Structure 1
Amino acid sequence: MNKKEVPVLKNKNGSIKRYLFIGGIGGSVLLLLLLMCFGGYIILQYRHVYKRDHAAMTSDYAQQLARDIGSMEAYVKNLYGNNVHYQMLKRPQITESQWMLAAYYLNNNFSTKADNLDYFGGVFYYDQDWDSLHSEFSSYPFAGDSYRLNQAIKEAVRAHTGEKMPYEEIMTYEGETYLLYLLGDRGKLLGYTVNLSVYFVLRENMQLIISDMQGNILANLGEPLLDGQTIAEKLRNDTDNAGLTYMISREAVEGQELQVMLIHKDEKLAFWNQAEFWLLFILIPLTAFAVLWNVYRFVKRIIYQPIDHFVHRLTEMKRGEASENFGYAGKESQLEEIRLINEKLDELIAEMGQLEQEKYKKEKEANAALLQYYQLQIRPHFFLNCLNIVASLLNENDVDTVKTMIFAVSRHFRYVFQDSDSLVTLAEEIEEVKAYCNIYIIKNAMPILLQINLEEETESCKIPILCVQTFVENSVKYAVNKSRVLSISITADRIEDDGKWYTRIHITDNGEGYRPEQLEQLNRPVTEFQYHSMQVGVDNIKYRIYLLYGDKAKLYFYNSPAGGAVTEILLPQVMFEKPVQTAL
């Protein structure tokens, strides 16, 4: 290949670049137009479905109101035609005792009906001769009280006793609207009332209007989305148009001179007022341009860069400069085989480095945990204090106490200097707890009330060393108070959870309990050792339990409602054939 052939090849590549660039721009514009058309279609469909559902909801409200009013009307008509007690009350010659007895049984009938209502309403009987009203209402809340509501109904009924029956009227009491229905003759009237103002329970951003067929507003429920003048105008003009952010629909109440209008405000209907719309409007074309640009670069790389690279390598080989520029050419456009070899080699090196880092991290964690464990065990100040107490007791010739102290200290240090990954029985751990408490009692001359309640089958269960003693020591350090005797309770039993058996150890004290920040720290799951100077022992035992049992063991820290810290340990009942050798 001579020097004149190379520019020809590059000119051909340049033409491909130009065509790809033009195709990318055209494809981006076309894609944008398609997305805009699709978005417009989705918006129109959304509004159509939304309007249909809104109309169905309005119809449901109207049908519900029609059913309940029809049920009340049928009930009153049934009383009017078939109830013997009402018939007796209509008799012209009736004694007072007969009237009171019939009114009593009729009122019981009212009470049964009122208890079955799922809205606020009621039924009543009015006797013009006695000027007496007997009523029963449901237990739903309403404005005002039953006595004044009875008086308002009584005044409304008294004013319309001469009307043609049945008679319906809208009355207002304490700012709430009631539908009043009357049926009867000769001054003996039955009726019902329904509180329209609290009848419906609406969702957020909804307003419901109950009006008569002439457009007069009777009840305005829910949030005030539209003012009364706007609503009245729409009712009179029979229009449902209220802007793109509102959805309005209406429905007549069957069998009544009433209609229901439901108004719902949804900002999503005016999509151009939302930041998400403009964000998508900008991001979609940018994403399309970015995708097509990357396609262009990819095509450029796989079509003509290998040829340029091949020509370049031939030229370098001819000039004897292959080793000098090979790295650059390989990065620009590698052959598939070379690229795969380099990638696998890089992955291998990266994996080796990662394994080395993980190994170093594990060793570091193990050393830190082991160091903290022996720091917890040795505690030179504790040992020296014990020796000073022994010396003091010898000076006082208190030989019995000295023997007790020596035995307790020797048992304690013999126990804590076992291997950190040893498993001991719960009974052995409890003996260590008793020895530690005896040392504390002798050292500080303060009593400890230690209550232990173990199920017999749990005493032989294997647990990590210092699993219980660590939390008892924590209670001794932080729960002691000179104003009260320190009480520590230890219980153990077996429980089943998800078909698996656990040994549950429950440790409580009567101290002040954990602070909120301590509870947050203690209840975090442990997957690696972390040093906290204020809770070295607790962090140590949590990490050792994690190393022995993994996620199967559970630790819970909380405060008792009666006061005091509570530690609950759940260890799976697993038979270890030999101690688990894990680095701390």
Structure 2
Amino acid sequence: MAWGKNKKKLISLEKQLSVLFAGLYFSIYVISASFLMISIIKSQKEKINYIMGNVDVYVKTLENDIQEIDSTIWRMYAGNKVYYALSLEKDEMKKYKYVYELKDDIELMINTSKSIDGVFIYYDNYKSVIYKMSESIDSINKEMLLKNNESIMSNIIKDNGSLIQHTKDKDYYTIYYIKDGTAVIGLIDINKGIDNIGEDQEGEVKGIVDEDKIFFSNESEMILNTAEYSNLTEGISRKGNEIIYVKDVEGTNLKVFYASKNFMLKSMKIHQYIALIALFFSIYPALKIHHLLSRQILQPLADMTKTMQVLQTGQWDVEFHVDTNLEEIENVKKALIVMTKEITNLKIQTYEEKNRKQYAQLQYLQLQLNPHFYINCLKLIQARLQLGYNRNVENFLIELSFHFRYLMKKATEFVKVEEEMKFVYNYLEMTKELFSGSVASYVFVDEDAKEKKIPMLAIQTFVENAIKYARKDLEQEMQLTIKITHMKVEEGEFLNIVVKDNGIGYPQSVLNGLNQIEEGKESEQIGISNLQKRIELLYKKDYNWYFYNQNGAISELVLPCVLGEEANIDSINSKNK
């Protein structure tokens, strides 16, 4: 009784020293990091203001240039008497005189304006043109602009408007006015000055959005996709470590944007980089000091204590990873290593042998399944080519390559339901391209089921089987329904996978074969047979499946839910034990 009253409370020496050392270092680290972060944020704000200022200057210049080209072209269209006379004149000699006078006018426009890069006047129902372009436009761009203008004339749907033309390396804002078989077109280079925005660093994108079209000033990697750029609104926004600034061009549908990846790093100054690197690498000497203090005594003792605790649970596959110069501790460690290795080798020898046999059988079944699928696809391609339908064969080969990548890239037997459904969608697209008749698919997947994992090809095998039998005698459009339901019952969580078609149903002989597949017995339904064998290896008896006819053929499979790291053969087998 006296011993119980005087029992001492045990404490961890390693824990006490570690907490003290970590607290001191963490306090210094947090203070230094806070000052550095304040400095970086300040530098970032300065660069943001600089970028915004450059964008605003460019937009203001662009607005002035657009206003100038618009007013100039309007004066030619509405106020030039020679142009008006040309639109009405039928006599060829007089037309020639008017054209000569207009040519002088447009040359004067180009020579006296710093903004206008080209003026075109079309007449004779747009068959003839007089034009003048600035010297900055090379011959290739000139040819492209003339062809673009011809396209505008042939596809015009209203008397006036604006658009952006893209040539070899430039983008031109174009304004046009049309009257009585004649047209006036003016354009300006909208890329002028846009390079002054930002610093042309890697990951930096700048350009112009015209409704659903995007014109980039460089070939940098796009930070956002096309839809995200098109939906940007005026102002500055952030997405993680990315920054996007958007400015509307007044009087147009244009938006100028600047986007930069890793903006915080790009806005940092040299001394901030040095401080950040020093702060980061300060972790190493701190850890080194702590390691030297604990290496010789604390860590070896803690390692041996943890190892003994693991041995108490019945797990013998343990190792020591910490070295020590103390002879006594080293001898104890060596003795424990020898003992645990001998016990582990004896204990797992039988289990490993059994597991190798199961894994070899699983690999055989997978290899047996893949050639079956490949051969079917190759037969479909051959049939299409023999019939002379070559147009969509290239698309089918791309879809088939997706199948190959899906089957070959997986290192485990399990995939997420969401991934398997992408594979099924791809297979259905192949079916629509290569089979006669249409296939309509209706898919219902519970949100909770998408992240659950199932054996690879568990759904696709049923879909392929349904199409194989439903298409034969079906004269109407084939309808395929895939429903995956997440169920919670007293026995646990399950996935209910149902594939239904609107065909005539399984033939009775086939239905009998599907419902009576036995282990070791060969079946004509190779895909279904292999799937059952794989499921049997993975789940033992904890699954069910059914095949029956009800307004078509129905294939149903019920599997226990597995998620994340649970999806491996060993863990499922251990649960089934």
With the length of structure 1 as denominator, give the TM-score of the two structures: 0.38
User: Which has the larger Rg?
Assistant: 1
Scaled by the length of structure 2, the TM-score of the pair is: 0.38
